Every structure is written in C-alpha cells, then in structure tokens.
Amino acid sequence: MNLQPVPELQHRTVLLEEAVDALAIEGERANGVYLDGTFGRGGHSRAILSRLGPQGRLIAFDKDPLAIATAQKIADPRFEIVHDSFATMDQALAERGIARVDGVLMDLGISSPQVDDAARGFSFRLDGPLDMRMDTTRGVSAAEWLATADEQQIAKVIRDYGEERFALQIAKKIVAGRAVEPISSTRQLAALVAQAVKTREKGKDPATRTFQAVRIFVNQELEELEVGLEKAFAQMAQHGRLVVISFHSLEDRIVKQFMASKAHAPQPDRRLPIRAVDLPQAPARLLPRVMPSAGEVEANPRARSAVMRGLELIVAAPAQGASA
C-alpha cells in the first residue's frame, strides 16, 4: 500500500504536559537519555526535546511509515527515530551502546490521523480497505486474517480483545459473509457486525468493539505492551521514570498490574527473625494516576478514556553488558 500524508488530518496529543512533567526532565536529568515509545505525530517528542539539555538524547519508536516520515523532519542532533515497535528497545539501545535510560514514555493506541484516514482501515465510520496494520510495510492485514481464520478463532479474538458478548454471533456472520464475497472493506465488516449485534449502549456503534479487537490482534498490541514494559523497566537507571498512557481497559489493566508488581517488595517468611531495616525494598514507587481534565476532554473527546500511570525506579538492576 502506497500511503501519502494527508495534511488536514490533525492529532491532538493527550495529556501532553502531564506526561512530560512525569518524566522529571530537570537538573542533571535534563542531559539523560529518554525514549518515546510511540512517536505518533511527535507531540510528546517535541515537548521532551524542549526540556532536554545540550547533552540529552531522545530515541523515539514507531511502526507507522507516516509517523516515521514526520519524525525525519525533526532536525535536532539529540533526536533519533527508529522504525520499529518499542518492544525492540533493548536491541536498539544495545546497538547504540546505551546501558541505561532516564525515562520511557508510552502513549498507547492509535492516533487521530490513523483513525481519520479511510485508507488505513481503522474506522468503521469511513469506508476504506480493511487493513488496520500500524506498519503497512509488513504483517498480515485484517482482511487477510479474516479471510483465513476459522469461526472459533475469530470469536475468541473479538471476545478477548473487544470484550464483546456477541463475539460468536459476529464470527458466524463474518464466516457466512466471506463465503458470499471477500470481506475487503471496513463498510462490509461494519455491516456484518451490525447484523449480529442486536443491542448496544446508547451512542455506541455496534462495530466499536469488533474493530478494536481485530486491530489489537493484527498489531499484537497487548503482547508488545507486556514485552515493552518489562524491557523498559530493565533498562532504566536509578530514579528513572516509566510513564504510560492507555485508552482502554485491557491496556490499563496490564499497565496497572505491572506497575503494582514493581512497587511491592517480596515478603519474607514471617517466621524468620528479620529486622525492619533489613526487609526487602520495593524496586519502584508508583506515581499518582492522572486523568484528562474536563477542559481537555471537551476540546478533544478522544481523550475521555485516557489513563496515565507512572513509576519511578528506586533500585536499579545490574546493567546488561552495554556501556553508556
């Protein structure tokens, strides 16, 4: 697919100042190394660069070729873009001889330009090719997967990733529909889902959950999130910050559980005579949870479901071979 930038599609970065504030880029930390796990259209990256010192460094990641094209326009020697998932950050850092980073920001989900561009296939409101890949240069499109997956596989994806109670009925409609003609457009898929979903919350399109589920599955978003969280934590320097913005319950649950696990120390056997001062210390502390303000939600309705969570590393793990 030959994608061309569409200038009129704008993206409003959610929790822009709050997320960058949480990275605590100040003092000596302003000359540290930071990662932007999802460059998108560069809102967070530009804000981070505005706070970095002359020796600071920012490495951003994105799978979307259009995001890469936007990032390549940033003429700043402190900045570098990597065309890959943040789940590969350990490899990218090792290649650059970086052992530790001072902050990692992950803004999950999809950007407004991706949703609003019919050619990407993310939107059930706009008719376009049923693609849904973040990276259009590799992987299997939504149309290709739906053409070959069996009914049980489709139902499981829609149920697990979309939390859709009509998953089996939708899967049956999809399998029956593709027997008549290939499901190659977003309009076709949305119509099939509408036939299977008889009730839905007021103001919510019947296809919302199915499109979310297929997109998450095609892009392996939750698997990459789990891997990325572990790698980010392992790469952080002492007092490094990990900040994550999620937009739906599946993402937020993974982030919340991961961070909670790092903020609790392993408990020793209560029968052992251990002094309080010798008790294990939690490797990290949680930062306050942040939600968008009423004003931000009013200005950008897509911010309404956002949740920002963060943690600060207290006890750093031994470095993994690279030299800073």
∠ CA 130-134-139, rounded to 5°: 75
The Cα–Cα gap between 128 and 145 comes to 16
Cα distances (angstroms) measured from residue 190 to each of 58, 85, 179, 271: 40, 28, 17, 60
pLDDT in tens, 145-189: 999 999 999 999 999 999 999 999 999 999 999 999 999 999 999
**62 known ligand binder:** yes
DSSP 36-66: ES--TTSHHHHHHHHH--TT-EEEEEES-HH
CATH architecture of the region 135-219: Orthogonal Bundle (1.10)
For residue 109, the model assigns a pLDDT of: 81
Q: Answer yes or no: is 44 a known binding residue.
A: yes
93 pLDDT tier (thresholds 50, 70, 90):
very high
Question: Where are the chain's structural domains?
Answer: 16-107+221-313, 135-219
Q: 139 among the known binding-site residues?
A: no
Q: Which tens digits make up the pLDDT trace of 306-318?
A: 999 999 999 765 5
Q: Is 235 annotated to bind ligand? A: no
DSSP bridge partners of 241: 103, 312
Asked whether residue 86 is marked as a ligand-binding residue, the answer is: yes
Query: How sure is the predictor about 2, in pLDDT bands with cuts at 50, 70 and 90?
Result: very low
Contact 265, 315 (CB under 8 A): no
* Residue of 240, 206, 205, 195 whose CA lies nearest to 25: 240
DSSP one-letter string for 275-322: -GGGSPPPSEEEEEEE---HHHHHH-GGGTT-EEEEEEESSPPPP-S-
Residue 140 and residue 218 in contact, taking contact as beta carbons nearer than 8 Å:
yes
Distances (CA, A) of 119 to 2, 5, 115, 268: 10, 11, 9, 55
Question: What does the pLDDT look like over 282-298, one tens digit per residue?
Answer: 889 999 999 999 999 99
What's the DSSP call for residue 252? H
Look up residue 1 and give its two tokens: 């697919």
Q: Is 117 annotated as a binding residue?
A: no
Across residues 98-112, what is the average pLDDT? 93
What average pLDDT score do residues 224-246 get?
Answer: 97
Output the CA–CA distances (angstroms, integers) from residue 307 to 106, 107, 169, 218, in the order listed: 12, 10, 31, 23
16-107+221-313 folds as: Rossmann fold (3.40.50)
